[in-house]
Structures are given as C-alpha cells and as structure tokens.
Amino acid sequence: MGRRREGLARPRDRHSAWLALAFAAVALVAACLGGVVGGMIGAGTVREEPQTRATQPARVDQAVLPRVVSAVAPSVVELRVTSLAGAETGSGIVLSDDGVILTNHHVVSGVDGGEITVRFNGERSTASARVLGTDARRDLALIRAEGVSGLRPAKLGDSSRVRVGSPVLAIGSPEGLEGTVTAGIVSAVNRDLRVGGDDGDPPVTYRAIQTDASLNPGNSGGPLVNMAGEVIGVNSAIYAGRTAEERTGLGFAIPINEAKKVIDRFDPIDRPGR
C-alpha cells in the first residue's frame, strides 16, 4: 500500500499543528511471507477551535454499554478486499436490509480487478459485493452485498449535535479481529484535516470528530456510535506517531452528516434509520 512516513511533525503551538495521519483500516496486506499492516499517511492540518477539547470524561452507566453494543454490532460488517496487490481488511456499516453498506473510499479503492467479500458480524456467512459509488475527496464509499436480505440497518444520528466529552464506542475489525469494541469519549469536534494528495490522488479533507477510543488498522469504515446506539461518525484515520504508544488515543472519524451527502447521492432511496 502506501509508503509509511511516520512522525512528520509535532504541534507548533496550541492553536495550530501539523499531524501525520494514517488511514486506520487499510490493513492486513497479504505478502509472500505473511500479513503486513499497510496504510496511507499524509500531512494533516489540524486547527484547534476554542473550547473543543475534553477536560472531564462524561460519566456513563456501565450497564448501558452492552445494550448499545447489542443494538449496533449486527449492523457492522468486515470487508476483505483482494486484488493483484494483495489483501486488505476493513469495516463497513449496514445501511439497508438488502445489503447497501457504507465504508471508506481507501478501503475499497484498490479493488479494480479484484473482489470485495463481506463477512457479517457473528456469522460464518459471507457475500460478494460491488461498488455503488465512491467519493475520494471525502474518503467515503457505498457498496452492495449481493444476494442478501434481512440485514439490520444501522441507525444514523446527527453529528451536528455531538458534544465534546460525550462517551462513544468504536466497532470494527482491527487487525482482522471481527466485532472488536473499544470505548472512549469525543475529544474534540470540527478538526480541520487534510490527508494525502502527495501521490497524485486528491487530498481527503473534512472536519473530523476526534476520539480517544482505540482505533487500529482494520477499523476504517466502521462506526463511531453514541450511547443511543446511533452512528455519529465513520472511523477513518489515526495519528501516525513513531510508536504504538504515540498513536494511542488520537483517532478521527468523518461526521455522519457528511456521509449522508454521499449516501443520498449513490443510494437516494429513503430508508428507515436515516
């Protein structure tokens, strides 16, 4: 996949910083001698806005968390993309009972001449999928799993109502570990990010939701959800520090309201849960 260029810069001051970002789910690239974690890394401009950083984590009734996971997990799928370049694993969010799925553009962008396989959470069954449309600038894509029915669509929330300090869960397949759940809070909102654009591809730009919920390769395309079980973001990027410790707690998600624009373009049918 992309060339790794970790640790490009450090914050310059408290109002602006240059961060290196790594797409979180372009992962598990098959190589002759075994799987190699891959990813695209670029320079990301992060402009900090007043009063956007969390100072106190919100208190959450721990009994709520299992209920949220039970409600959302069936709507999260694992995606395996195979091509001449190898194989990668990512995540996706079910949007319709007949197989429309939201994920990241970078998860499926290398599928030309290859195949997308969808594995449904908690099941052994799989299905092939085709791309309905992609938006490289927003790093979003819609695919459709073929020959399926009766899936549980995710409930989409309103990312304009997200508040710093709110508890969140991330669900996906980091390193191919299907259905992994991590918890955290919204650390900041409206982070101006610009990722990539160095290799001729258009840069990805969006105002991100920042979270300290652990994200790893394989999480990209999976949901960031609130305690109402609503998807508020699409997990997409992590800070590319020199070590795993430096990457911990710096994850970024594309707000779901931004994703709704792409959904409406490629799947304009009014469906429940949107």
Which residue range forms the structural domain that includes residue 189? 16-66+155-261
- Two tokens, residue 172: 């996906």
Q: Which residue has the higher pLDDT, 54 or 27?
A: 54
Placement of tokens 């992609």 in the chain: 134
Do 146 and 225 reside in the same domain of the chain?
A: no
Do 86 and 172 reside in the same domain of the chain?
A: no
Do 180 and 51 reside in the same domain of the chain?
A: yes
Do 53 and 83 reside in the same domain of the chain?
A: no
Torsion sign, CA atoms 201, 195, 159, 110: positive
Do 58 and 171 reside in the same domain of the chain?
A: yes
**pLDDT per residue over 20-49, tens digit each?**
444 443 333 333 323 222 233 332 334 444
**CATH number of the domain that 56 lies in?**
2.40.10.10
Do 217 and 203 reside in the same domain of the chain?
A: yes
- Does residue 134 fall inside a structural domain? yes
Among residues 106, 159, 187, 267, the one annotated as catalytic is 106
Q: Which residue has the higher pLDDT, 54 or 50?
A: 54
Task: Supply the DSSP symbol for 3.
Answer: P
- Does residue 79 fall inside a structural domain? yes
Show which of 130, 154, 178 is a domain's final residue.
154
- Does residue 271 fall inside a structural domain? no
Sequence letter at residue 150: G
pLDDT at residue 250 in the model: 87
- Does residue 93 fall inside a structural domain? yes
Active site annotation includes 13? no
Among residues 91, 220, 236, 267, the one annotated as catalytic is 220
Active site annotation includes 220? yes
Do 48 and 177 reside in the same domain of the chain?
A: yes
pLDDT at residue 248 in the model: 64
- Does residue 86 fall inside a structural domain? yes
Among residues 139, 173, 214, 267, the one annotated as catalytic is 139
CB proximity list for 236: less than 8 A, separation 6 or greater: 23, 24, 25, 104, 139, 208, 220, 221, 252, 253, 254
Q: Which residue has the higher pLDDT, 248 or 215?
A: 215
Active site annotation includes 15? no
**pLDDT per residue over 11-21, tens digit each?**
333 333 334 44
Could you give the number of structural domains in the chain?
2
Whether the predicted model's global pTM rises above the 0.95 cut: no
Do 164 and 60 reside in the same domain of the chain?
A: yes
